[in-house]
Amino acid sequence: MRHIFHSTTSGSYAVVKKILAFFLIIALNGPLFSQNEDAFFLRDIYDTALTEGECYEWLRHLCQDIGPRLAGSPGAEAAVFSMQRLMDTLGFDTVYLQPCMAPRWDRGAPASGRIVNNEFLGTQPLNVIALGNTVGTGPDGITAPLVEVKSLEEVEILGEAGVAGKIVFFNRPMDPRLLNTFAAYGGAVDQRALGLVVAARYGARAVLVRSMTNKLDDVPHTGSVAVVDTVPKIPALSVSTNDAEQLSRLLGRGEVKVHLQSNGQLLPPVKTYNVIGEIRGTTHPEEIILVGGHLDSWDVGEGAHDDGTGIAHSLQVYPLLKKLGYRPQRTFRCVLFMNEENGLAGGRAYWAASNERNEFHLAAIESDRGGFTPRGFSAQGREDVFTDYYAKISTWLPLLEPYGLTFTTGGSGADISGLKSQGGLLMGFVPDAQRYFDFHHTPADVFEAVNKRELELGAASITAMVYLIDKYGLR
Amino acid sequence: MRHIFHSTTSGSYAVVKKILAFFLIIALNGPLFSQNEDAFFLRDIYDTALTEGECYEWLRHLCQDIGPRLAGSPGAEAAVFSMQRLMDTLGFDTVYLQPCMAPRWDRGAPASGRIVNNEFLGTQPLNVIALGNTVGTGPDGITAPLVEVKSLEEVEILGEAGVAGKIVFFNRPMDPRLLNTFAAYGGAVDQRALGLVVAARYGARAVLVRSMTNKLDDVPHTGSVAVVDTVPKIPALSVSTNDAEQLSRLLGRGEVKVHLQSNGQLLPPVKTYNVIGEIRGTTHPEEIILVGGHLDSWDVGEGAHDDGTGIAHSLQVYPLLKKLGYRPQRTFRCVLFMNEENGLAGGRAYWAASNERNEFHLAAIESDRGGFTPRGFSAQGREDVFTDYYAKISTWLPLLEPYGLTFTTGGSGADISGLKSQGGLLMGFVPDAQRYFDFHHTPADVFEAVNKRELELGAASITAMVYLIDKYGLR
């Protein structure tokens, strides 16, 4: 690109001006006056986010002053109280902590791994990381032959004869053909979440899982493993994709024996908190619009895209509306959930309390897919109401498309999933997904991986959605 | 994000399968059979790019084995011959070099700058870089007071009385509100391209320009300055945005004197080349479809996003079609242009030769906006034909939207702009634009800034476009 004056107008002022002019002309005839007003208001939201947004500095604080925030850790506690203090300055009616009891997992010293008996390579180190909620190997580690599988079903087929005494190596890659990398993740993560459970039943000594990423590199990705009390507790580790490829190549030539050492332990649950800010609605206070993300993160990296950006987005919504003089008609609630990563204790506590009080969440929006350029929202809801809601929000597409936003049906977010029974609309903020799994659950998920403009555009997009739902409802 | 199985379907297999199923049903009734076929073929293009794409390794070679490639430099020459050798392996009918005479600019030793007399700070270093095509200050540098302006017009108003003997400091930022950062660039870059010309007329000693980026950081951005023989040659440098902000603050308190030293020189033009590969069309060889990018880059960084990714995209198109057994009906030409950055000699030579031979480019697509996630294409053309072309390509949107692609009207690319008079369709590949100017024309524009999947998706998107134009024409 050189100094040509580019006139491409995708998402640009020129397009927006054309749209504004269009609405202005229509408005003279009356019926669409409010859409005209809305087009201008959305433009104001984006302008304000891009020129006066504070979310990038809040994210910096969360990532760099506080750092990793696994539930129950000192970092998580610091984040709770620091975010409460920050929320106190944002103009909410009420800011409060909602207690919950979260599982506490401690990684201990970093895990290590190596190939020990390969005839071609001798001893070779492996890039491994202990998976969340798992037990350690003990100080001496485990040495055992590797058996490679591509699915849980393959373990069932191999049975005790094929698995007992071995380390089960789950090596089905995420499908690179899926443009939606979250769908690719969803198609592979059963190996990490449930591989241990299946392998332990047949007497495996440990589990080694290919990292959940499309990228071929040397960085192992952590993440949680389902805790099932009825199966033996065995260690589970993740291995980098490059090493997974290498192990698979070597297994093609003969037996591969691996040594793994890890030090995780589950400690007694600890009391921790969701952080909640609320502004009571002026005319429909009984209808709640929730925006949230999760405050906890894994214990490696800084939890920037997972889910510092969701926290920064959520915190920015009400200040943007306030700056623009908009007072919500419905009750707006900003919820920073605790323990999404390894237990969902915060989400569960929130649903329980909400259902007990017979609350109605008209809409809940979670941001938990990173802070990249906005592409839209996924939406889901109870069968009896969802079609009407989806039709209603679709009428807003002409207002949202200039900002690159569209709607899809599908999952919303783990922390809000339990609100579905209330009969409101559940949405997930959907940013560009190509880079997310380069960082997810790794030491690379740091503040510098987030782009300021992309983050601000996300906050503006969620605010636009909240504004439209608040102003028009969903019926 | 945890181990929930995400069912969001944006751009996912699920959506694509639904579309394929839809077309399959329709196809049973006959009329849309070819759209069904096309939906499958596009899916094949993307699958192949994402699983067997070679463009990322080609980009690595260009960035890391060759490096910076300013026209006439040893790097540019190496790139020409290396790309010719690579093209020879890609199955083209013909691969050839097209000579052109390009201006040759040499930066010399890195520039330096400092504030010399500020009463608050004393001497303070500035992050500066010499702008392309400019002369140096001489070894002793230039020390002069700074006069800050926000536009070329302000210089005209200040006139000789306000400007003579001073360093004119152009400090109008790119507009952060523009979602299309290229539009923001277009709205600010007159200061870099033409500031020298205006300031030199009124006797300025040098020009210092705020770097063309939305990011506040310490990295100065280079770029080209218009060469106008009728004005005195004075040095022009760019300063980082953080330093520009600082200079502006200090100027608010009183006079600021700056010392600048730079070493650029224009050398005699040198012979260099476009690299061209061609496959002759089977049934309409007289209609050319061109895909191109520019092979030269600035002399800092590795020219990864500008425009190594455009080269990688362009090279990938024909191999993808070939792997899928598709033989173009029209003549396909892959053109790697030389000297886009500081002269456009390659583009001019190409147009001249093409017009002389009375060629007709039915379509020309340039990729010169980076290698980020595809968003679509901008399109332009001669007034008498453009509306029909745009209507035609818009009928393909249902095939392209599953991949996140849309069309906008607007500029295409500098290297192909001179083909407009032939009456074909000119298109620019449009990827996500939020991060481009974080890297543009800086040492940060390196291979690692490019994401493999994003690059492959770009190559697939351009290939899909070429396939549709080749198969259906534009009338």
What residue spans of B53-110 are helical by DSSP H? 55-60, 74-88
Half-sphere CA count of B241, side-chain side, radius 13 A: 14
Cβ separation of B404 and A375 shorter than 8 Å? Answer: yes
Cβ separation of A1 and B453 shorter than 8 Å? Answer: no
Give B39-65 as a DSSP string: HHHHHHHHHHHHHH--HHHHHHIIIII
What residue spans of A61-121 are helical by DSSP H? 74-88
B246, B208 Cβ separation under 8 angstroms: no
What is the C-alpha to C-alpha distance for residues A407 and A429, in angstroms, rounded to an integer? 10
CA–chain centroid gap for A419, Å, is: 17
Chain B residues 48-67 within an 8 A CB cutoff of chain A: 50-51
Contacts of A443 (CB under 8 A, 6+ apart): A219, A300, A301
What is the C-alpha to C-alpha distance for residues A210 and A189, in angstroms, rounded to an integer? 10
Residues of B in contact with A306 (CB under 8 A): 1
A30/chain B closest Cα distance in angstroms: 29
* Residue whose C-alpha is closest to residue B319's, from B55, B84, B79: B55
* Residue whose C-alpha is closest to residue A54's, from A467, A466, A462, A459: A459
* Residue whose C-alpha is closest to residue A90's, from A290, A316, A285: A316
User: Consecutive sets of 10 residues in chain B, 475 residues long: mean pLDDT of each?
Assistant: 42 50 46 76 98 98 98 97 98 98 97 85 88 97 97 98 98 98 98 98 98 97 96 97 97 94 96 98 98 98 98 98 98 98 97 97 98 98 97 97 96 97 98 98 98 98 98 96
**Cα-Cα-Cα-Cα dihedral sign, residues B408, B412, B418, B423:** negative
Cβ separation of A175 and B13 shorter than 8 Å? Answer: yes
Beta bridge partners of A126: A113
* Nearest residue in B to A369, CA atom: B1
Per-domain residue ranges of chain B? 13-104+268-472, 108-263
Tell whether A13 lies on the interface with B, counting CB pairs under 8 A: yes
* Nearest residue in B to A183, CA atom: B6
What is the C-alpha to C-alpha distance for residues B383 and B380, in angstroms, rounded to an integer? 9
Its pTM stands at 0.92
A117/chain B closest Cα distance in angstroms: 32
B432, B372 Cβ separation under 8 angstroms: yes
Contacts of A369 (CB under 8 A, 6+ apart): A182, A428, A429, A430, A431, A433, A436, B1
CATH class of A108-263: alpha beta
Residues in chain B: 475
Per DSSP, which regions of A414-461 are E strands? 425-431
Q: Which amino acid is at A222?
A: T
Residues of A in contact with B408 (CB under 8 A): 8-10, 15
Residues of B in contact with A47 (CB under 8 A): 177
Cβ separation of A411 and B7 shorter than 8 Å? Answer: yes
* Residue whose C-alpha is closest to residue B396's, from B38, B47, B90: B38
Cβ separation of B7 and A186 shorter than 8 Å? Answer: yes
CATH class of A13-103+270-472: alpha beta
Contacts of A155 (CB under 8 A, 6+ apart): A149, A163, A168, A195, A198, A199, A202, A204
B334/chain A closest Cα distance in angstroms: 18
b/e for B60-86, b at 16 or more Cβ within 10 A? bbbbeebbbbbbbbebbbebbebbbeb
What is the C-alpha to C-alpha distance for residues A107 and A128, in angstroms, rounded to an integer? 13
What is the C-alpha to C-alpha distance for residues A171 and A248, in angstroms, rounded to an integer? 8
Tell whether B46 lies on the interface with A, counting CB pairs under 8 A: yes
Residues of B in contact with A6 (CB under 8 A): 182-183, 185-186, 410-411
Q: At what angle do helices B452-472 and B33-52 cross, to 10 degrees?
A: 150
* Nearest residue in B to A296, CA atom: B1
Tell whether A409 lies on the interface with B, counting CB pairs under 8 A: yes
Strand order across the A425-431 sheet: A94-106, A265-279, A330-337, A284-294, A360-366, A425-431, A374-381, A406-409
Q: Give the residue carrying structure tokens 């500098």.
A: B414
Q: Identify the pLDDT of residue A120.
A: 65
B56, B452 Cβ separation under 8 angstroms: yes
* Residue whose C-alpha is closest to residue B58's, from B321, B309, B322: B309
Q: Identify the pLDDT of residue B300.
A: 96
Cβ separation of A179 and B378 shorter than 8 Å? Answer: no
Distance between start and end Cα atoms, chain B: 48
User: Consecutive sets of 10 residues in chain A, 475 residues long: mean pLDDT of each?
Assistant: 42 50 46 76 98 98 98 97 98 98 97 85 88 97 97 98 98 98 98 98 98 97 96 97 97 94 96 98 98 98 98 98 98 98 97 97 98 98 97 97 96 97 98 98 98 98 98 96
Peptide bond just before A307 cis, omega within 30 deg: yes
Cβ separation of B410 and A7 shorter than 8 Å? Answer: yes
CA–chain centroid gap for B161, Å, is: 39
Q: Identify the pLDDT of residue A7.
A: 38
* Residue whose C-alpha is closest to residue A415's, from A345, A332, A355: A345
Q: Identify the pLDDT of residue B242.
A: 98
Q: Identify the pLDDT of residue B26.
A: 44
Q: Identify the pLDDT of residue B117.
A: 79
Residues in chain A: 475
Q: Identify the pLDDT of residue A364.
A: 98
Contacts of A230 (CB under 8 A, 6+ apart): none
List the single residue in B2, B8, B409 with the smallest CB-CB distance to A180.
B8
**3-class SS at B9?**
coil
ipTM of the complex: 0.90
In chain A, DSSP finds a helix count (H) and a strand count (E) of 14, 16
Domain B13-104+268-472 matching CATH 3.90.470.20: the answer reads no
b/e for A206-245, b at 16 or more Cβ within 10 A? bbbbbbbbbbeeebbbbbbbebeeeeeebbbbbbbbbbbe
Q: Identify the pLDDT of residue B3.
A: 44
Half-sphere CA count of A335, side-chain side, radius 13 A: 32
Q: What is the DSSP letter of B300?
A: S
Q: Give the residue carrying structure tokens 């498309």.
A: A401
Contacts of A341 (CB under 8 A, 6+ apart): A70, A71, A132, A223, A224, A294, A296, A297, A298, B2
What is the C-alpha to C-alpha distance for residues A88 and A278, in angstroms, rounded to an integer? 11
CA–chain centroid gap for A188, Å, is: 16
List the single residue in B14, B15, B432 with the smallest CB-CB distance to A432.
B432
Tell whether B191 lies on the interface with A, counting CB pairs under 8 A: no
Tell whether A21 lies on the interface with B, counting CB pairs under 8 A: no
Tell whether A89 lies on the interface with B, counting CB pairs under 8 A: no
* CA angle centred on B332, ends B331 and B336, rounded to 5°: 135
Contacts of A229 (CB under 8 A, 6+ apart): none
In chain B, DSSP finds a helix count (H) and a strand count (E) of 14, 16
What is the C-alpha to C-alpha distance for residues B296 and B22, in angstroms, rounded to an integer? 45
Q: Give the residue carrying structure tokens 């919303």.
A: A412
Largest CA distance in chain A: 82
Cβ separation of A7 and B183 shorter than 8 Å? Answer: yes
Residues of B in contact with A178 (CB under 8 A): 12-13
Q: Is B120 exposed, middle or buried (0-12, 13-18, 19+ CB in 10 A)?
A: exposed
CA distances from A144 to A155, A236, A305, A435 (A): 17, 13, 36, 35
* Nearest residue in B to A402, CA atom: B179
Q: Is A63 exposed, middle or buried (0-12, 13-18, 19+ CB in 10 A)?
A: buried
Chain B residues 198-257 within an 8 A CB cutoff of chain A: 214-215, 223-224, 226
